[in-house]
Amino acid sequence: MTRPILAMFLAALLTTNHAFADELPCRLPVGDKWPKKRKHVDPHFPEKLRAIHATGIVFLDCVIGYDGRIETVQRLAGPDAFSEVAIAAVRRWAYEPPLLDGRPARVAVTVSVFWFSDQSRLQRLYLEGLADSNDLVRETSARDLGHLRVGVDELVGALQDPSPRVRAAAAQALGNNGRKARKAIPVLTSLGQDPDPRVRDLAAWAIKQAGGK
């Protein structure tokens, strides 16, 4: 291969690889504000599930495109009976175009779609999610327990998770529990030595929310 042809080949290869890298979605950091949702579609669960007062959660990993529309949806966990309708609904969601560090981006996020007739049962399912083998399911379970403001004891345990994203999500969830999470302050304080800066920052914030210093 002559030098001019080799140079052209290498230039094309580098350009292709750079473009491909630019198109890869970035996982939205724990604690960062999500793009504002422009369109929400509720899943239409089958009547037979309504009739038996079923409760379930489906965990879905999604990519939000540059235009805010959902590009891909992958099921991570959840019962088959709920999954098809949950995926169909989420594919129709839309957000404001995502930005990361002020620049347009494709972002990966994990959502949970649930149907429940008993909130205590829903809480138990999220607590079970904290023990899932998938890091993203554990992270999402911790985050959503924080939204429900429940599960303090289990979230304290999640602060020791091997995944820094799960530890960060658990810290944020405990902060959302406010003074109910006061018992978590000693463990949150120990996270001041965590190797992950996001974990350290969210732990410090959670301590203040729980009434510590």
**Structural domain boundaries in the chain:** 24-117, 118-213
Residue pLDDT, tens place only, 6-27:
444 434 444 443 343 456 899 9
pLDDT attached to residue 141:
97
Q: Return the CATH architecture of domain 118-213.
A: Alpha Horseshoe (1.25)
Q: What is the pLDDT of residues 30-88, one digit of tens each?
A: 999 999 999 999 988 777 766 666 778 999 999 999 999 999 999 999 988 789 999 99
CATH number, domain 24-117, options 3.30.479.20, 3.40.1640.10, 3.40.1190.20, 3.30.2420.10: 3.30.2420.10
- What confidence score (pLDDT) does residue 49 get? 67
Mean pLDDT of 183-192: 96
pLDDT at 9: 40
pTM: 0.84
* Contact by Cβ (8 Å): 210, 188: yes
193 pLDDT higher than 90: yes
